[in-house]
Amino acid sequence: MNFIKIKSKRPAAVPATAGQSGENHSRENHSGERPEGGRSKKYVLDTIGQVCPFPLVEAKRAIGDLRSGDELQIDFDCTQATDSIPAWASAAGHAVTDFRQIDKAIWTITLRKA
């Protein structure tokens, strides 16, 4: 599974360019099929330092551009988001595949798009 970092100040779900990561992260080839045999991709959205509700707002925007089965890892430090992101994900039908505290006031949650 590829990891593609999404900076929250960029437009939603814009993968790193080939020049930034040294790899080609295009989600489709010219035939419209997914590369690598249709495997899902994992995206990382860094919202650390953003106040609530922006981690949730950015997560909604980012996951909207992903394909079903892709994963979005959201790193955040907003305590309200520990409730709001899982509640929204559940209501939207996305699966929470990982949710943990990684530092004193930093959490990470991974969602699989429905």
- The active-site residue out of 52, 53, 54, 61 is 52
- Active site includes 52? yes
Report whether the peptide linkage leading into residue 15 is cis, meaning its omega lies within 30 degrees of zero: no
- Tell me the C-alpha distance between 108 and 88, whole Å: 15
Which residues are the active-site residues?
52
